[in-house]
Structure 1
Amino acid sequence: MTMKLEQLRSFEMVARVGHFTRAAEELYLAQPSLSRQIATLEAHLGTALFHRRPTGVTLTNAGELLLPIARRMLGDAKAAEDQIQELAGLRRGRVRLGAPPTLCVSLVADVLAAFRSAHPGVELHITEGGSRFLVEALNESALDLALVVTRGTDPSVSGTELVPLLSEELVVISAATSGSPEEFTLEELSREPQVAFNRSYELRGATDAAFSAAGFEPVIAVEGGEMDAVLRFVERGLGVAVVPAMVVIDRPGLRSARLVRPSLTRTVNLARRNDVGPSAAAAAMQQFVFDAVDRLAAPGSELSRLVTAAPRD
C-alpha cells in the first residue's frame, strides 16, 4: 500500500489547525472518515504522526518530518493538475507569487496589473514574507515563483534557482516639502531623525549593519513600522527612512535622496524550482517580471540611475 493524496491532505490540514474536528470541517469530511485516513496513514508508516490530547493535537517527530514532504507532494499534484488544465491556453490557471513587502509595493504591483490585464482568467495569489520564508515555501510547492532579495554572495539553496533581475540602490526618503538635500552620507543620515522598520525586515538589518560597521548610532524617531506605515509617517514629516529606490515611484508625497559614502545596494532575484517545470501561467508571469524589470531600468527612465538590470541569457 502507498500513501494517498487524500491521506496527505487530511494530515496536512490536521497539522495546520491542530484539531481533528476543525480539520474535518475545513475539508468538508465527516470526522470519523478523517480519523480513519490518519489512522491508515500511521499504520502504513508504522508510527504515530500526532500526539493526541483533549485540547487538540501536536506533531510527533515523525509528523514534523513528514509535513514538508506532504506539502510538497500536494503542491506538485496541484501544479500537475494546473498544467493539464492550461493545455487549452491561459484562459484559466493559477499563479502563486511570493515577494517581500518592499517589492509588493513597487515592482510586484506593476507586474500584477500588466498580467491581470493580459490574462484575466488566471487566479493570482500573493504571499508576503522575508526571502528565507519565501524560498522555503517555494521548496514546499506552496509557491510557483518568488522574488527574493540578496546582498553579496547569493545563497545556495537545494532545489532552487536564483535568477538575478536587478541591482537597486537604497535611498533616503523624506516628506516632499522637507527641502532635504540631494544626497546624504551615512554620517549625515545618522544625525537625522529616522522612521525605522520593524526589526523583522531584512532592510532594517542591512541599514543597522551599515551604521554599526561605520561606528554611527542612528537617531530613531519612530520604530517598528511596517512598509505602508513607514511611508505614511515619512510623508507626515516624522523623519526620514531608508528604502529601496523603486518604492518611491508614483508617490508625490515623498522625495528621495541618494545615499553615498557608502552607497547601499541590494539584488532582486527571481527564485524558481529547478526540479519541476513551471506551469504555463507561471512561465507567463516570469516573462512579465522580466519585461517590468527592463522597463524600470531602461535608459532615460525615472530610475535608470538607481536601478541596473542584470544580464540574462
Structure 2
Amino acid sequence: MTLKQLVYFLAVADSGRFVQAAGEVRIAQPTLSRQIQALEDDLGETLFTRGRDHVTLTAAGETLLPLARRIVADVETARLEIAELAGLRRGRLRVGATPSLCVGVVADVLAVFHASYPGISLQISEGGSQDLVADLEDGQLDLALVIHQQNRGVAAAAGAGPTRGATSGSGDSTLRLTPVLREELVAVSATGGQVGLDEALGDHAGIVELARHPLVVNRPGYELREVVLSACAAAGVTPRIAVEGGEMDAVLRMVERGLGVAIVPSLVLAGRPGLRTTRLDGSGWTHRTIALAHRTDVAPTRAAEAFRETLLAVLARTSRTGALPPGVRFIHSSSTG
C-alpha cells in the first residue's frame, strides 16, 4: 500500500468514476485502474463494485475510506507543519548565555529576533560557560554565548555559577566558536566616598594596588574569582578578601554599599551610577572573548541560523552607532567563525 494509491482510491470513491478520478489526479485512466487493482491485490479485497459507467464502494472499501482520509490528511498536515518550520513561522529555539550577557546583549538580540519571527518559541538558559557547553553537547541547547579566554579554553562565566565538565577550546571537534565580542574586565568601587578605602582608586590601577584594598569576590568555583586570584599570585601579592560569595548582582550591590572593590566584566555596569570604574593595568587576564558556540556534528536548525544572523546584525549595528558599552567591541568579521 502506498500513499499515492490511497490518494487515487479517494479520488475514485469521491467521484464514482475512474475516468473523472483520473482527470482529477492528472494521470491516465489505465494507470489509475492498475494502481487501484494493485491496492486491492495488496489488501486481498475488492474495494469497488464496478458498473457500466459508475462504481460504488464495497464493504472493504467503506472500511478503508475513513482510514485513507485520515492518513492522507495527516500527511498533508505534516507537509504544512514542516513548511511552517522551514519558513520560521513556528518552531523552537534554545539559547544559553551567561548572566552578564542575558541582561544586555541577549535581551536586545531576542527582541529583534522575536519581532521578525514571532512564531518561534524562545527558551533561554543562564549558566556558566562550561555548563552551557555541556548542555550543548548533550543536545539540550541549540546555541550558547560563552566566554572564551586565550589559553584557558571555554571559561565559566563571571558570577554565573560553579563549573562542571571538561574545558572545551576552539579546537574541540564537536563545537565551533564564533568570536563576536571582546570584553574588558574593570575594577569597580563605590562613588561618593562611601567605600572605606585607604586611598581612592584612580582611573587606572594594577593588581598590586587593588590587592591593598578589601576585595569583594564570588565564592570558590567561579571563573572570575580564579582569574583575580591567579593575577594576584602572579604579581606576588596576597589579596584582602572582605566578602566572598553571591551572584554578580549581589557583588555589585556590596560594592555600592562600600564593602570593598571588585573586578567585573564591563557589560554588567549599565545602569549602575553608584559605581566608579577603574581600568586595569595588565595584559592577558584583563580582557576576554565572548563567542557563539554550536555543535558541528549536527546541522543547525533554521531558527538557530536565523538567530546567528540576527545576533551578528544587531551587534554590528550597535557597534557602528557607538552604542556598545565602554570596554566592549565587536570583533566578528566575514572570515571569522
Check whether TM > 0.5.
Answer: yes
Q: Structure 1 pair 255/290, CA: closer, same or farther in 2 (3 Å)?
A: farther
- Counterpart CA distance in 2 for 1:200 and 1:213 is 19
* 1:159 to 2:174 alignment: yes
Q: Deviations over 1:111-160 (max 9, x none)?
A: 22332333333222122222222112111110000111121144122311
Q: Structure 1 pair 200/289, CA: closer, same or farther in 2 (3 Å)?
A: farther
What residue is the counterpart of 2:49 in the other structure? none
Q: Aligned partner of 2:243: which letter? A: V
What residue is the counterpart of 1:207 in the other structure? 228
- What TM-score does the superposition give when structure 1 sets the normalisation length? 0.66
Q: Aligned partner of 1:228: which letter? A: D
Q: Deviations over 1:150-173 (max 9, x none)?
A: 211441223111111122110112
What residue is the counterpart of 1:266 in the other structure? 288
SS at match of 1:225: coil
| Alpha carbons 2:316, 2:330 under 8 Å: kept | no
Post-superposition shift, 1:186? Answer: 1.1
Q: Structure 1 pair 88/145, CA: closer, same or farther in 2 (3 Å)?
A: closer
Q: Deviations over 1:187-246 (max 9, x none)?
A: 111112221012222111211111111111112111011112112222222222111111
Q: Structure 1 pair 306/160, CA: closer, same or farther in 2 (3 Å)?
A: closer
Structure 2, gaps ≥5 residues long: 1-78, 154-168, 194-199
Q: Aligned partner of 1:164: which letter? A: P
What residue is the counterpart of 2:196 in the other structure? none
- Counterpart CA distance in 2 for 1:158 and 1:288 is 26
Q: Structure 1 pair 136/91, CA: closer, same or farther in 2 (3 Å)?
A: same
> Would you say how many aligned residue pairs link Structure 1 and Structure 2?
232
Match of 1:146 among 144, 147, 150: 144
Q: Structure 1 pair 271/306, CA: closer, same or farther in 2 (3 Å)?
A: closer
What residue is the counterpart of 2:184 in the other structure? 169
SS at match of 1:252: coil
- Counterpart CA distance in 1 for 2:201 and 2:310 is 36
- Counterpart CA distance in 2 for 1:239 and 1:298 is 36
Post-superposition shift, 1:259? Answer: 0.7
Q: Aligned partner of 1:133: which letter? A: D
Post-superposition shift, 1:308? Answer: 4.7
- Counterpart CA distance in 1 for 2:116 and 2:271 is 22
| Alpha carbons 2:207, 2:232 under 8 Å: kept | yes
Q: Structure 1 pair 310/94, CA: closer, same or farther in 2 (3 Å)?
A: same
Q: Structure 1 pair 217/309, CA: closer, same or farther in 2 (3 Å)?
A: same
Q: Structure 1 pair 109/184, CA: closer, same or farther in 2 (3 Å)?
A: farther
Q: Deviations over 1:7-28 (max 9, x none)?
A: xxxxxxxxxxxxxxxxxxxxxx
The percent of aligned pairs where both chains have the same amino acid is 47
- Counterpart CA distance in 1 for 2:141 and 2:323 is 31
Post-superposition shift, 1:299? Answer: 7.0
Q: Structure 1 pair 297/171, CA: closer, same or farther in 2 (3 Å)?
A: farther
Q: Aligned partner of 2:180: which letter? A: L
- Counterpart CA distance in 2 for 1:134 and 1:164 is 16
What residue is the counterpart of 1:17 in the other structure? none
| Alpha carbons 1:95, 1:125 under 8 Å: kept | yes
1:108-257 pair list within 5 angstroms: 108-153=106-151, 154=153, 155=169, 156-178=171-193, 180-257=201-278
- Counterpart CA distance in 2 for 1:95 and 1:167 is 25
| Alpha carbons 2:266, 2:327 under 8 Å: kept | no
Q: Aligned partner of 2:185: which letter? A: L
| Alpha carbons 1:86, 1:280 under 8 Å: kept | no
| Alpha carbons 1:183, 1:258 under 8 Å: kept | yes
Post-superposition shift, 1:102? Answer: 2.7
Largest Rg, 1 or 2 = 2
SS at match of 1:231: helix
Q: Structure 1 pair 158/187, CA: closer, same or farther in 2 (3 Å)?
A: same
- Counterpart CA distance in 1 for 2:240 and 2:112 is 40
- Counterpart CA distance in 2 for 1:143 and 1:181 is 42
* 1:307 to 2:329 alignment: yes
Alignment root-mean-square deviation, CA:
2.5
Post-superposition shift, 1:95? Answer: 1.2
Q: Structure 1 pair 298/233, CA: closer, same or farther in 2 (3 Å)?
A: farther
Q: Aligned partner of 2:258: which letter? A: G
Structure 1 stretch 172-181 or stretch 184-193: which is displaced more? 172-181
SS at match of 2:325: coil
Post-superposition shift, 1:249? Answer: 2.1
Q: Aligned partner of 1:140: which letter? A: D
Match of 2:311 among 289, 292, 295: 289
- Counterpart CA distance in 2 for 1:160 and 1:95 is 18
- Counterpart CA distance in 1 for 2:318 and 2:222 is 24
